Amino acid sequence: MTHKMDKQAQKPILILGGTGKTGSRVAHRLTQQGISVRIGSRKGTPSFDWNDSTNWKSLLQGVKATYITYYPDLASPGAAEAIRSFAKLAVENNVRRLVLLSGRGEEEAQRSEKALQDLGADWTILRSSWFAQNFSESFLLDPVLKGRLALPVDGVKEPFIDVEDIADVAAAVLTDNRHIGQIYELSGPRALTFAEAIEEIVKISGRKVHYTSISTEQFISELRQQGAPQDMILLMTELFTNVLDGRNSHVVSGVQHVLGRKASDFSDYATKAAATGVWDA
Ligand SMILES: NC(=O)c1ccc[n+]([C@@H]2O[C@H](COP(=O)([O-])OP(=O)(O)OC[C@H]3O[C@@H](n4cnc5c(N)ncnc54)[C@H](OP(=O)(O)O)[C@@H]3O)[C@@H](O)[C@H]2O)c1
């Protein structure tokens, strides 16, 4: 019995998107705890690609749990179908413990959540607010560096979350079966408009950045001029218009509930991000 339990404990946790913003941090935390991890990414061995299921089964062999992040976003066309196919294969291969990173108030993301629930997996769902790290590690970095962030959002507040908090929650949840069957809503402790978030970044980094609210038509036209592909334009428009309509402006307590401590404030994130030099000229 003990031998069987030891073997189970030694099995790796598969991290899809394991080199991404949350996945890399989850992998780091688990490794620090002595838990072995297997990274799912197109550069991994074997490689993992959401658009090609050839290697999915071999990646799942001998795994005890999986952290699932989709790329680029659960609101992208085909995301729910891909999540459903992957989760089905996981359950068929005895990998029942699945933790999904989802988005707050996103109807499309809920289709992916339902896939896990329908399949009878031992699921936990983390519904996250917008990441603070979008300003330093993702699509909002370039506008910050160029000094102009223009979005079709005016006055809507969002309680940006530090992805370090998401990683702490995910690592806790992946290693404790008491979280099975739970949906946790995760946010930062303070809601800010995009203009206020930029003001904090300006104050802390000393960089000149201007936030401007533009119409959806102008937003689409600017994305086209920058050469963004049509599916990315559709995704951005969906996220900035439908999802950012104020439905997620309230602060939620998932981080406190799971970790027993407060979520980090945006200003702490901005201070740490500035110290890495990411916003330097
Ligand atoms: N950004 C937000 O504010 C926000 C808020 C709430 C929820 N979410 C959700 O968070 C998830 C993204 O999580 P994240 O930000 O931690 O990840 P991320 O940094 O966006 O993802 C990058 C990871 O995905 C891998 N990847 C890229 N293309 C892939 C493909 N075709 N097949 C397989 N892997 C691929 C990358 O590795 P390779 O390049 O080596 O493949 C890398 O490991 C999305 O589902 C989104 O809906 C985001």
Residue 1 predicted with pLDDT over 60: no
Return the best residue to mutate from 69, 74, 83, 153 for the ligand 1 pocket (most ligand atoms within 8 A of CB).
69
> Per-residue pLDDT averaged across 245-253, rounded?
95
Cβ(263)–Cβ(165) under 8 Å?
yes
Residue 281 predicted with pLDDT over 70: no
Q: What is the pLDDT of residues 58-116, one digit of tens each?
A: 999 999 999 999 999 999 999 999 999 999 999 999 999 999 999 998 888 999 999 99
Which tokens sit at 239?
């996220």
Contacts of 277 (CB under 8 A, 6+ apart): none
Residue 4 predicted with pLDDT over 80: no
Q: What is the pLDDT of residue 103?
A: 96
Q: What is the pLDDT of residues 187-243, one digit of tens each?
A: 999 999 999 999 999 999 999 999 999 999 999 999 999 999 999 999 999 888 888
- Residue identifier of the C-alpha nearest atom 46 of ligand 1: 73
Return the best residue to mutate from 15, 28, 37, 41 for the ligand 1 pocket (most ligand atoms within 8 A of CB).
41
Q: What is the pLDDT of residue 198?
A: 98
- Residue identifier of the C-alpha nearest atom 28 of ligand 1: 71
Contacts of 6 (CB under 8 A, 6+ apart): none
Q: What is the pLDDT of residue 7?
A: 72
Question: Ligand 1 centroid to 21 CA: how many Å?
Answer: 7
Which tokens sit at 89?
């294969």
- Residue identifier of the C-alpha nearest atom 34 of ligand 1: 41
Q: What is the pLDDT of residue 3?
A: 65
Tell me the C-alpha to C-alpha distance, in Å, between residue 138 and each of 52, 209, 236: 24, 16, 13
Q: What is the pLDDT of residue 241?
A: 85
Q: What is the pLDDT of residue 173?
A: 98
Residue 244 predicted with pLDDT over 60: yes
The strand pairing partners of 99, in sequence order, are 67, 124
CA 184/CA 258 separation, integer angstroms: 8
CA 182/CA 66 separation, integer angstroms: 16
Label residue 49 by pLDDT band (50, 70, 90).
very high
Segment 5-13 long-range contacts (CB within 8 Å, at least 24 positions apart): 8/64, 10/36, 11/36, 11/62, 11/63, 11/64, 12/36, 12/37, 12/38, 12/62, 12/63, 12/64, 13/37, 13/38, 13/63, 13/64, 13/65, 13/66, 13/67, 13/174
Strand ranges (DSSP E) for 64-143? 65-68, 97-103, 122-128
Label residue 8 by pLDDT band (50, 70, 90).
confident
Q: What is the pLDDT of residue 5?
A: 60
**Ligand 1 pocket, Cβ-based, cut-off 6 angstroms:** 17-23, 41-43, 48-51, 69-71, 73-74, 101, 103, 128, 130-131, 134
The identity of residue 127, as a single letter, is: R
Residue 12 predicted with pLDDT over 70: yes
Domain ranges of the chain: 2-129+163-187+250-263
Question: Ligand 1 centroid to 1 CA: how many Å?
Answer: 38
Which tokens sit at 280?
């330097």
Measured from the CA of 19, which atom of ligand 1 is nearest?
A: 43
- Residue identifier of the C-alpha nearest atom 19 of ligand 1: 20
Count of H-run helices and E-run strands, the chain: 13, 8
Return the best residue to mutate from 26, 71, 74, 125 for the ligand 1 pocket (most ligand atoms within 8 A of CB).
71
Domain 2-129+163-187+250-263 -> CATH class: alpha beta
With tokens 């991290």, the residue in question is 15
Which tokens sit at 216?
């959806």
Residue 9 predicted with pLDDT over 80: no
Averaged pLDDT score across all residues of the chain = 95
